[in-house]
Amino acid sequence: MSEEMEQWIQEMLRVSDADDRMTDKQIKIINAAVETFSAKGFAGSSTSEIAQKAGVAEGTIFRHYKTKKDLLISIVAPTMAKLIAPFVLKDFNKVLHSNYPNYEDFLRAVIRNRLEFVRNNLPIIKIMLHEIPFHAELQTQFKEHVGKKVFQRVKEIVEHFQKEEQIVSVPSTTVIRHAISVIIGFFLARFLLLPELDWNEEQEINYSIDFIMHGLAPRNK
């Protein structure tokens, strides 16, 4: 088990309620499922492969989880509610509730903060990226435990800088949507699409901020 995976499992166990504590076999199954789903996606994974990787009989998986989808939900949904959401908000609150002289400084703090978060939690994040668009249950979990809590605060920050006339006066949701598209695009390329490139992350952060603030318009000379 990789160091990152072990840390994630231990943190998941730490935040679990006493009645929800996993057995040793469940821990092995969850670890194997995270590794397999992360590498192959939900559709490309089989319970037999997960069982083999976990060192248990395939029937053992079905004693704990009725279907492969139940296994997926058991990984992602509790993580949303008990690990990712609290961790995102606890860590992200340092960014969201700090004062910034301008919108560019806020964007820089957000990108740096989330870049490190993605780097440290890549296996489970890959599962979420692969599966959330295709499972209504996971979409609901994400919106309830992460989306709403972060969105409202970011909206307030954007509207503050709009009043300061640092950002164009368009709907704040449009500003947020464009920024999210650029930032997530950077993260997808960095960690999933082109991880083998020799990335200069600080330079890419600057490029991303410049694009969000100025788009494709040439600078006036």
Domain ranges for the chain, please list them: 3-216
Q: Give CA torsion, residues 83, 89, 95, 97, to 10 deg.
A: -160
| pLDDT values of the chain reduced to their tens digit, one per residue, 221 residues | 456 556 655 655 554 544 456 778 888 888 888 888 878 888 888 989 999 999 999 888 888 888 888 887 776 665 555 545 555 565 677 788 888 999 999 999 999 988 988 887 787 777 777 777 777 777 777 777 667 778 888 999 999 999 999 998 899 999 999 999 999 999 999 998 999 999 999 999 999 999 999 886 665 64
CATH 1.10.357.10 fits 3-216, yes or no: yes
Q: Rounded to a whole number, what is the distance in angstroms from the first to the last CA of the chain?
A: 55
Please indicate, yes or no, whether the overall pTM of this predicted structure exceeds 0.85.
no
Element (H, E) at 117: helix 103-120
Say how many C-beta atoms besides its own lie within 10 A of residue 107's C-beta.
Answer: 19
Q: Please tell me the distance from the alpha carbon of residue 51 to that of residue 44, in angstroms, as a whole number.
A: 15
